[in-house]
């Protein structure tokens, strides 16, 4: 099989908590007042049953922390989480860290220099000549342009590359002034922490060929999704109009990508759709005319892990590859600020066990 080929995947998760426990033990008090009933409904209808976080509000309230304090905690927590995901991806691909020619990291929830790319390259024993790339502030869709960049490197240089997506959204719990903001209630009900990594190689007997990465950005809706750096962490803006914008563009872009490869929607037997929320998945299912079971893995990831921003679509990919008979063709789909929609087409055989 010629490359670029996704030949390995690795996931690392912090401790988990039940959504009901998070509501009863913390957020019911956080949203006490005129918006309490609304907040309860939003949490109950989020599609999330459990979530993972490096900082649980049940144990530690960071809502009053300065951005500096949050960034220091980000570095301390992201390094071991990222190391675990990268190590598992390398093991899955049958490679060592010293084999890599490129190490790319996506993250929009924390910054420091030296960053994760430098520190993990050092700690994992990557070559001093490994090329590094840090991709920040692309949000939930970052994994797909990340795969595109790593795939281009692999094609051009003939050496393996690795992409790590690591997000710690739990560090950005907002303070009391934001308690009645519906957009903050929604983000607090959905977002979680995770790290996921994929190895891309020039060729492999088992894996998924990255056939194409494509995007469309509707800049007229740039204010619909924002991620602002404040003195008290990063604050999300999330318009309720996002699903309608996605509905406008998703079918056209998916058909365009598939058409260039002589495929149609019926030829795709694996859908890795970023579960930004239940309405997002409903819109994708409706506009693409998919059966209810087509997005089972995406809905399952939302229920079990919440929305962990950039790693989430990779968590869905990992679930697809755990099917008894893994898919032959996979469409990965994610969206985020811009508003931007990314589509990636994968084709191939199953990953080696």
pLDDT tens across 25-69, in order?
A: 999 998 887 788 999 999 999 999 999 999 999 999 999 999 999
User: Taking 90 as the threshold, does the pLDDT of residue 148 lie above it?
Assistant: yes
Tokens 């700690």 label which residue? 123
pLDDT tens across 210-257, in order?
A: 999 999 999 999 998 899 999 999 999 888 889 999 999 999 999 999
Query: How high does pLDDT run on average in the chain?
Result: 94
Please give the Cα distance from 291 to 29 (Å, whole number).
40
Query: In the chain, how many H helices and how many E strands?
Result: 11, 13
Strands 50-52 and 2-12: unpaired
Closest by CA to 342, choosing from 183, 184, 154, 143, is 143
Tokens 């990831």 label which residue? 301
Residues 48 and 187 sit within 8 Å (Cβ to Cβ) = no
Phi and psi at residue 263, in whole multiples of 5°? -120, 160
Q: What is the dihedral of CA 264, 269, 272, 278, to 10 degrees?
A: 90
Please give the Cα distance from 246 to 283 (Å, whole number).
8
User: Taking 80 as the threshold, does the pLDDT of residue 179 lie above it?
Assistant: no
Q: What pLDDT score does 353 carry? A: 36
Q: What pLDDT score does 180 carry? A: 55
Q: What pLDDT score does 1 carry? A: 52
Give me the sign of the Cα torsion angle 228, 33, 58, 41: negative
* Confidence at 352, pLDDT banded by 50, 70, 90: very low
Burial class of residue 350 in the structure, from the number of CB atoms within 10 Å of its CB (0-12 exposed, 13-18 middle, 19+ buried): middle
Residues 68 and 322 sit within 8 Å (Cβ to Cβ) = no
Residue 64 in tokens: 């009053």
Q: What is the maximum alpha-carbon separation in the chain?
A: 59
143-157 helix and 312-320 helix, angle to the nearest 10 degrees:
70
Q: Where are the alpha helices (DSSP H) in the chain?
A: 19-22, 28-30, 36-44, 67-93, 116-124, 143-157, 182-190, 242-259, 278-288, 296-305, 312-320
Global pTM value: 0.95
Q: Which domains does the chain have, with CATH numbers?
A: 2-203 (3.40.47.10), 208-348 (3.40.47.10)
pLDDT tens across 265-310, in order?
A: 999 999 999 999 999 999 999 999 999 899 999 999 999 999 999 9
Residues 169 and 54 sit within 8 Å (Cβ to Cβ) = no
Respond yes or no: is residue 140 known to be catalytic: yes
């Amino acid at each position: 099989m010629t490359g670029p080929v996704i030949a390995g995947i690795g996931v690392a998760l912090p401790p988990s908590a039940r959504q009901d426990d998070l509501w009863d033990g913390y957020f019911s008090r956080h949203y006490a007042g005129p918006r309490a009933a609304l907040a309860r409904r939003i949490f109950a209808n989020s599609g999330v049953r459990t979530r993972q976080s490096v900082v649980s509000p049940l144990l530690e309230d960071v809502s009053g922390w300065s951005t500096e304090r949050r960034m220091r905690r980000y570095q301390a927590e992201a390094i071991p989480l990222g190391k675990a995901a990268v190590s598992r991806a390398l093991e899955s691909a049958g490679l060592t860290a010293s084999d890599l020619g490129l190490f790319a990291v996506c993250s929009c929830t924390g910054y420091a220099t030296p960053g994760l790319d430098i520190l993990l390259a050092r700690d994992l024993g990557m070559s001093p000549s490994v090329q590094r790339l840090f991709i920040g502030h692309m949000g939930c869709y970052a994994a797909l342009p990340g795969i595109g960049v790593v795939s281009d490197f692999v094609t051009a240089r003939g050496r393996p590359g690795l992409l790590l997506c690591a997000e710690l959204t739990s560090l950005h719990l907002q303070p009391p002034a934001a308690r009645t903001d519906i957009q903050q209630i929604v983000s607090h009900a959905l977002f979680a922490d995770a790290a996921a990594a994929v190895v891309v190689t020039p060729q492999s007997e088992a894996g998924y060929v990255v056939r194409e990465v494509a995007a469309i950005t509707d800049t007229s809706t740039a204010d619909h999704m924002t991620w602002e750096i404040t003195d008290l962490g990063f604050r999300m803006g999330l318009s309720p109009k996002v699903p309608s914008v996605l509905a406008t563009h998703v079918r056209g872009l998916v058909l365009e990508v598939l058409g260039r490869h002589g495929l149609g929607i019926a030829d795709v037997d694996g859908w890795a759709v970023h579960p930004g929320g239940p309405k997002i998945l409903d819109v994708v299912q409706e506009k693409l005319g998919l059966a209810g079971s087509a997005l089972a893995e995406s809905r399952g990831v939302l229920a079990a892990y919440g929305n962990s921003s950039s790693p989430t679509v990779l968590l869905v990919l990992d679930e697809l590859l755990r099917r008894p008979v893994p898919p032959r063709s996979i469409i990965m789909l994610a969206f985020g600020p811009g508003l931007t929609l990314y589509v990636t087409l994968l084709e191939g055989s199953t990953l080696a066990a």
